[in-house]
Amino acid sequence: MAEAFRDRATPGTVPILISGLAHDRPATDGVKLQVIDDLCVGCSYCLMACKDDALVVEGLCEVIEQNCTDCLLCLLWCPTGALVYA
């Protein structure tokens, strides 16, 4: 399977994207980062991704709203989809 995919894949390098994470922010005012407790498994992947000390994981993840810069890194790292904007 991997060999068949590799033979059909487009060769070349991936271009650098201009927008990136600094551009991607929630589009709706008033939304904030929240944790769906039923989906959180306490893996701490989000904590490792967060550079702003906006998350605490003690069993389940909790958001420290005043520290959150909406960088979205935690959303990208969360394997269960427990982090959402609502």
Residue 57 lies in a domain: yes
- Within a domain: 23: no
Whether residue 62 is contained in a domain is answered as: yes
Expressed as residue numbers, the domain containing 78 is 41-86
In a domain? residue 77: yes
Q: What pLDDT tens digit does each residue of the chain (86 aa) get?
A: 456 555 555 555 545 544 555 555 566 667 788 999 999 999 999 999 999 999 999 999 999 999 998 888 898 899 998 998 87
Residue 31 lies in a domain: no
Q: So what's the pLDDT on residue 70?
A: 83
15 belongs to a structural domain: no
Closest to 39 in 3D by CA, of 1, 84, 82, 85:
82
- Tally of domains in the chain: 1
Are 76 and 49 within 8 A, CB to CB?
A: yes
As beta bridge partners, residue 34 has 84
Single pTM value for the model: 0.65
Q: In this structure, is the dihedral angle defined by the CA atoms of residues 63, 69, 70 and 76, taken in order, positive or negative?
A: negative
Which CATH number do you get for residue 61?
3.30.70.20
